[in-house]
Amino acid sequence: MGRRTAAVVIFGIVCAFAGFLIGQSPYRTGGATHWPPLTDIYWPTLGLVVVGAAAAVVGICTLKKLEEQARFMERQTKSIHHQAVQVRRQTHILNKSAAAARKAAEAAQDSSAALINSERAWLIAELVPTATKFAGRWYKPVGNNMGELSDAELADGKQFEYQLKVTNMGKTPAYVTRYTISRSNGTDEGQLIDFGLPHRSLASSERWYLCALDVEREVKNYAAEEKVLFFGNIFYQHVFSNKDTIRESFAYFFKRENGRLERIPLPDDKAAKQPSLEPPNCG
């Protein structure tokens, strides 16, 4: 209730009280003032008016306090609403800042990964023949020259031997920890035929020939109509890999018509556990 309303209420009470007093005021006779007797209704009515006036005053004071509290709560509500708006704005700004920070971190990570990939060691594993056929004759490297295989070497199947060649195509050294070579016909789980723990470094652009593989002897373990697959892995570390080990896989299909191995492309995200036995142009 506003101050104007309170004033009207008090004014009405005062007017009513004054009217009552005028109507019930004591009278004078012979110079003496005569008040109504105590049993007259005047006195209870007067008491009720006084009590009502006091109650009205108390009520007005209470309403004034309630009005002040309501205004205070309204100000508090507006303040809380303003704070909530500010919090939402700050939250939006923080979310944008966090998103920008994530993008910056991802960009930095991508840049760091690109730098590492451009500088790290990259090993390529191949099975390469130790002998080459030229003009109907077989030759193998002898020092810096090529020497023809003897009849004894041909009888021993040296023309069908292969070596595991590892080349570091990267810019920094690699540390080779392990290699494996297996064979399979596509129906069995594969059989390990050679492995090693060389634990040696391989400088940039350096080539390393690890072992000899007698393909003809290994193929004799299968029937003539069976397909034969040779596959394996090279495990190594580079200067940026900490303790992580990198695996480079390879797989080859044996072509019976010429006794040579043909490389099978492998998916980049899969190791050479059991590659497909259907290479292109397998005959």
**Minimum mean pLDDT among 9-13, 40-44, 233-237: which range?**
9-13
DSSP state of 223: -
Task: Report the interhelical angle of 3-24 vs 42-119 (nearest 10°).
Answer: 170
Q: Which helix (H) or strand (E) holds 127?
A: strand 123-129
pLDDT at 206: 95
Q: Are 180 and 232 in contact (CB under 8 A)?
A: yes
How open is the CA angle 125-129-132, to the nearest 5 degrees? 145
Helices (H), the chain: 3-24, 42-119, 151-155, 215-219
Look at residue 177 and tell me whether its pLDDT is greater than 90.
yes
pLDDT tens digits, one per residue of 228-261: 999 999 999 999 887 889 999 999 999 988 888 9
Q: How confident is the model at residue 281 (pLDDT cuts 50, 70, 90)?
A: very low
CATH classification code of 121-263 = 2.60.40.2420
* Range list of H helices, 25-135: 42-119
* Per-residue model confidence as pLDDT tens digits over 60-101: 788 788 888 888 888 888 888 888 888 899 998 989 888 888
Residues ≥6 apart with Cβ < 8 Å to 43? 36
Q: Range with the lowest mean pLDDT among 105-119, 167-181, 221-235?
A: 105-119
Helix, strand, coil % in the chain, rounded to nearest 5: 40, 30, 30
- Average pLDDT estimate for 209-230: 89
Reading the block at residue 56, the tokens are 């009205």
248 CA to centre of own chain: 27
Degrees to nearest 5, angle at CA 112 with 107 and 113? 100
Q: pLDDT by residue (tens digit) across 104-115? A: 888 888 888 888
Contact assessment for residue 120 and residue 170, using Cβ atoms and an 8 Å cutoff: yes
Domain ranges across the chain:
3-91, 121-263
Calculate the CA 262 to chain-centre distance.
Answer: 41
Residues contacting 251, CB < 8 A, separation 6+: 229, 230, 231, 232, 263, 264, 266, 272, 275
